[in-house]
Structure 1
């Protein structure tokens, strides 16, 4: 059983990346890729959904060169790696309201980022968004070789937070993932583009923002 979370001061905040700190939309990428192969955007989307290749890449089971090679074979596209990488990466926009919250809570709390992501995307995001420099640690699926909701990656994140589970607030956009963390004793919030509700949750936990 997880330890009680009552009456414990929150010392660390654990943030998901996609749909929390950054929004993403792969539709433009599929459209751009379709101009370089004989497949329609919807077919390209289905290739990624059905092949499981992105899950393997996010899980650190295939390298970036191998991911590129397999995508090229599956789609038959004519792009060299730099042009493919540009299309694959340019799908993100920053959630500015969340960025403001992160900058404020950083003053008094340890910040850790946890994400099911891959090397290509994360390297791109670290350069594009200096906000990620606010974080003390990154717990990433492709590095840990395990994806959320596996308890192993949450336990890595708890260690990175340097706090007990009941002293951590975890923010993610997927309820199945916040439920998995709650089972380990973390405070959780399921973010659905509702920063006002998040601020209320933080206030109840004594987090100044």
Structure 2
């Protein structure tokens, strides 16, 4: 099946997203584990990804757990330190596809303010042909609506979309709609898939 557009997730595909790693380095693994067992920080972040105000959402959560207030606020103040470094091999693939004239989209669970901040640190985020950011769309992966919105906007048949994501549940929903999918576990495997699809050549990976 011919691929008309390639879609990249961002977190852990183009930029490492490892909050636990940052917390371990700053407050220690034991304190981090205690906090994550008490506070559902990923659910808090999901609200941000749905378009809720970045700072206000985190401050509201911090107010509910005074024993971890300072640590929870780090999710806002240290956010860019959790979203790093960029994955250079994936950026190379993004740019190689664009150089070949292949349309490249982003489909990401990302808050409005945090995405705007990330753009200032990672200029490659502006290089996509289309960007589907959950905070702007009001819904997140893996809910069917966000995929439906992508299809309606780009007007490309689902079976002609190739989507790379690091989370299987996000790919499962895409596949159920007919999208071609790739479970991202590193740029090398993703590059080989793009070559296998005829979108890049082995020379492009060198």
Would the TM-score normalized by the shorter structure come out above 0.5? Answer: yes
Tell me the equivalent position of 1:46.
37
Would you say 1:128 and 2:118 are equivalent positions?
A: no
- Within-5 A mapping of 1:69-80: 69-76=59-66, 77=69
Runs of 4+ in 1 over 6 A off after TM superposition: none
Tell me the equivalent position of 2:199.
207
* Structure 2 length-normalised TM: 0.81
The DSSP-based 3-state class of the residue aligned with 1:177 is: helix
Distance 1:199 1:68, change over 3 A: closer
* Structure 1 length-normalised TM: 0.80
Structure (1 or 2) with the greater helix fraction: 2
Output the CA distance in 2 between the equivalents of 1:50 and 1:57: 11
| Counterpart contact for 1:161–1:168, Cα < 8 Å | no
Distance 1:177 1:84, change over 3 A: closer
Distance 1:78 1:197, change over 3 A: closer
| Offset, 1:22 | 0.8
- Within-5 A mapping of 1:25-36: 25-27=18-20, 29-30=22-23
Runs of 5+ unmatched residues, structure 2: none
Would you say 1:102 and 2:94 are equivalent positions?
A: yes
Runs of 5+ unmatched residues, structure 1: 1-5
Which stretch of structure 1 is more off in the superposition, 43-52 or 195-204?
A: 43-52
Output the CA distance in 1 between the equivalents of 2:3 and 2:109: 24
Provide the aligned length of Structure 1 versus Structure 2.
195
- Aligned mate of 2:56, from 54, 66, 71: 66
Output the CA distance in 2 between the equivalents of 1:145 and 1:189: 25
Distance 1:30 1:136, change over 3 A: same
| Counterpart contact for 1:146–1:152, Cα < 8 Å | yes
Distance 1:139 1:120, change over 3 A: same
Output the CA distance in 1 between the equivalents of 2:80 and 2:65: 17
Superposition RMSD on alpha carbons, in Å?
2.6
| Offset, 1:157 | 1.9
| Offset, 1:183 | 1.4
